[in-house]
Amino acid sequence: MSRSDTATDDPATPDKDTPLRDDIRLLGRILGDTLREQEGQALYELVEQVRRTAIRFARHNHPEARAEMAALLDPLPQDQAQVVVRAFSYFLQLANIAEDEHHVRRRRAHDLAQSPPREGSLPFALDRLAADGVAADTLAELLGRALVAPVLTAHPTEVQRQSLIHNHRLIADLLDQRERLQLTPDEAADNDVQLTDAVLRMWQTRMLRPVRLNVIDEVRNGISYFEETFFTELPRLYLQAEQQLRQRYPERTWQLPPLFRVGSWIGGDRDGNPFVTAETLQQAMRLQASMAFAHYEAEVHALGSELALSELFLQPTAALRALAERAGDASPQRADEPYRRALIGIYARLVATQRGLNPDTPPRHGVAVAEPYADADALGADLAVLSASLRSHGSGALAAGRLARLQRAVQVFGFHLAPIDLRQNSDVHVRTVAELLALAGRCADYAALPEAARVALLTEELASTRPLRSPYLDYSEETRSELAIFDAARELRARHGAAAIVNCIISKTDGVSDMLELALLLKESGLLRPGPKPQADVNLVPLFETIEDLQRSAQTMDALFRLPGYRSLVAARGDEQEVMLGYSDSNKDGGFLTSGWELYKAEIALVEVCRAHGVRLRLFHGRGGSVGRGGGPSYHAILAQPPGAVSGQIRLTEQGEVISAKYGTPETGRRNLEVLLAATLEASLARQEGEAAAVDQFQAVMDDLSQRAFQAYRALVYETPGFATYFQQSTVVSEIAALNIGSRPAARKSSQRIEDLRAIPWVFSWSQCRLMLPGWYGFGSAVEGYLQANPDGLVSLRCMRASWSFFASLLSNMDMVLAKTDMAIASRYADLVTDAELRAKIFERICAEWALTRRHLLAILEQDELLADNRQLSQSLQLRSPYMDPLNHLQVELLKRYREGDTSPRLATGIHITINGIASGLRNSG
């Protein structure tokens, strides 16, 4: 009997987590057996003793258990320590697989029980809109201009190798098989053998990369998710959405436009990454296109097997017959099979198209020589001929299956797979433009000009048809590289279609000139055409990152829109303006509370400015995996946006380990894609009167809290002498910089300053030592000061939580972060700081703030303990804690040895494996 048939898997029973515990025990037993067989009984018993001791310490906080664990682990030689680290790291990875499969199991159990739609599902969202009285025409208008776009990025918090991720997927498939199928004894035994083999492969696979990833490695990693998930699940999501719409609004014929797209930064994001060049951009697009064509060719081949329909039994359309005749297939075996002949012709044209776009493609052969497709629309037109013909003779069911999914895939993925965004830091643009102007004799020192003079000069140059660039001038290597990127983008758009590259993003935007500098570079590269009605081929997207820049963002955009030339560019792009908001750097700059509030206020101000200028705003949210970088549940994060900030269009980054967690398997991927679509519809159309009222009612309170939190955070991080030293010594930030987990350097500049450190290693380091400081610091001081000034303020704060989704989401994320902190473990990392006075001063301050934050958070939430209303996550953390604690303990011990002079490769590898294991245990760590 499969587990779905048992009473314990009924959604209403209290033992619904029994299958999860069974799976974890099964995988844990297999791992233990593998450890015993591969490393010997003695090491197996050592790992078991550490595990039992850690469980006793985690569950009962026995001091003697802590001492016993130290006695077991501290003296371990490096080889034995590495075995222990690998054992606990792999157990956490296996637990992740089991949990993910359990989430799938629970969703299926609810579906089988026909439970009411759950939050985050498309049926729930559509039911809510119907209950709110949203008319079919209103919904259709929104969907007609909607865009929902998760954008994959290559930020280095994904510590798992692809070979291990593939093995994880196999284990997940085997668990799924045990869940869904009623296995015979032989089949069950075979499943056991395959699981055992998969764990053995895991144990014998190197956990770490021997060399740092390059950009093309990251491209290959990113596009693997299309093969695993997006190719199948995005077309299915479209079909599901249309079916759900027809059920609720049968008066309309629903045919959704390609509103859901997956984008990428991988290969185009050169902010602080010198390894992204014009050549890597071109290679990234070639790899993407090859993946798309491989999918299309495989699907066309499969359709050829499925549609062996004979004219003896049907009457195809004239258009279908003509398509079959053009294929040049003279085989008598297929003379009466027009669909197969038409598909053979389509396949031949696909092969010719791919060969033309990428001559280095391994040769594939069509039946006859064929003309390549001019673009993806031409391929879509041929597929539409097949679909129309099938429907004409009563075979609509055949058209609605694989063929319909392929039609949607071609519409969504085109000949480019995913649009690649270009991104660069504004400082680089300044230097490039300054050199162009200087060598052209236009301005000797552009960088020295004040903002107003820069804007005037750039505006004049943008109106001129005269180029600044000359092939006869000798430019610096940086300028040549920047111009080459835009040249490559122009060529790729011409070859792969306009959808291949759509957005150019300027990091660290702080003024109008930053946007005009990009416009000038686009003009010099043929991507912007000046004149009375200037036109740009791509969107110019500012990225506001620091607290100060967020506060000025609306003012900056207002000044831009007031420039006739720029406003004309926006008009030519459909009167739409995309603005990107930086969660990570604003958090590092001003702390969690202030960052969240300034982002929220900036969105409100940007909505108002765009509305005043007749421009539709699309926000691009630069979220990371951790709460400290804007992470947290996507559904509630989108619903917590201010009124008018979504309006049917949203883009957000999917970064690091979040990509594999969300999209590593088809079922999980489809669920997360559905969540994004459902949340976007609700945030755009559901009634939100309470949100607007909450902003008016509580803005003064939030301003007060934010100001106090900002002062507390800045006082610690930027104003405390020696804090940078404390951070460097009490965390693994230096070791993370040496870990081969991404192509991008850990810092923008070679310095120890917090300002120059990237937000990713900043957050990642604090999570490794279990402090999670970027996700909560400053909140306790803010509430303490507010309550001292307002003795009845707790009532207001509780009212804010109850009536304002923004504040509720903020508190929920902090609840999760605090539950993942462990001050006892953090104290061991503090002991790594060599200056005892500095150590005591800063760590005691952090502890005091943590206690204040926890106390005030629980009081506002009206809870006695953290995660009181999230039993699933609470149990997950309880399960993981005993397996992470030994990893943290060993990480500290190995760091001591390393920093005392033992720099052997074996020791460094041990440290890096602990980083990997702890990241696996925390999941959203970077």
What residue has token string 């809109």? 129
**Are the CB atoms for 350 and 382 separated by under 8 Å?**
no
Catalytic pick among 102, 155, 295, 508? 155
The count of other CB atoms within 10 Å of the CB of residue 821 is 21
**Are the CB atoms for 409 and 295 separated by under 8 Å?**
yes
Separation CA 187–CA 204 (nearest Å) = 26
Q: Tell me the pairing of strands 539-544 and 503-507.
A: parallel
Show Cβ contacts of residue 727 under 8 Å, excluding neighbours closer than 6 positions.
733, 754, 765
Helix (H) or strand (E) holding 151: strand 147-153
Separation CA 266–CA 849 (nearest Å) = 38
What does residue 183 show for φ and ψ, rounded to 5 degrees?
-80, 140
The DSSP secondary-structure symbol of 229 reads I
Separation CA 869–CA 855 (nearest Å) = 17
Structure-block tokens of residue 370: 């064929």
Separation CA 348–CA 364 (nearest Å) = 9
Helices 78-112, 41-60: axis angle to 10 degrees equals: 60
Separation CA 823–CA 888 (nearest Å) = 12
The count of other CB atoms within 10 Å of the CB of residue 836 is 9
DSSP assignment string, 397-452:
HHIIIIIHHHHHHHHHHTTTSSPBPEEEEHHHHHHHHHHHHHHTTS-TTGGGS-HH
Catalytic pick among 102, 588, 621, 889? 588
For Cα atoms 451, 455, 456, give the angle at the middle one, nearest 5 degrees.
Answer: 120
What residue has token string 């690091």? 656
- Coil vs helix vs strand at 157: coil
- Coil vs helix vs strand at 815: helix
Structure-block tokens of residue 887: 């990893």
Separation CA 232–CA 226 (nearest Å) = 8
Separation CA 753–CA 724 (nearest Å) = 7
> Which of 711, 709, 717, 715 minimizes the C-alpha distance to 754?
717
- 912 a catalytic residue: no
- 588 a catalytic residue: yes
The DSSP secondary-structure symbol of 571 reads H
What does residue 651 show for φ and ψ, rounded to 5 degrees?
-125, 145
Alpha-carbon separation of residue 93 from 157, 476, 683, 919 (angstroms): 15, 47, 35, 10
> Which of 633, 600, 584 minimizes the C-alpha distance to 809?
633
Structure-block tokens of residue 25: 């025990």
**Are the CB atoms for 616 and 654 separated by under 8 Å?**
no
Helix (H) or strand (E) holding 540: strand 539-544
Separation CA 775–CA 817 (nearest Å) = 6
Structure-block tokens of residue 17: 């987590």
Q: Where would I find the H helices in 625-778?
A: 634-639, 657-663, 666-685, 689-717, 723-730, 733-738, 759-768
Show Cβ contacts of residue 802 under 8 Å, excluding neighbours closer than 6 positions.
808
Separation CA 318–CA 915 (nearest Å) = 64
> Which of 662, 623, 576 minimizes the C-alpha distance to 763?
623
**Are the CB atoms for 794 and 787 separated by under 8 Å?**
yes
Q: What are the residue numbers of the active site?
A: 155, 588
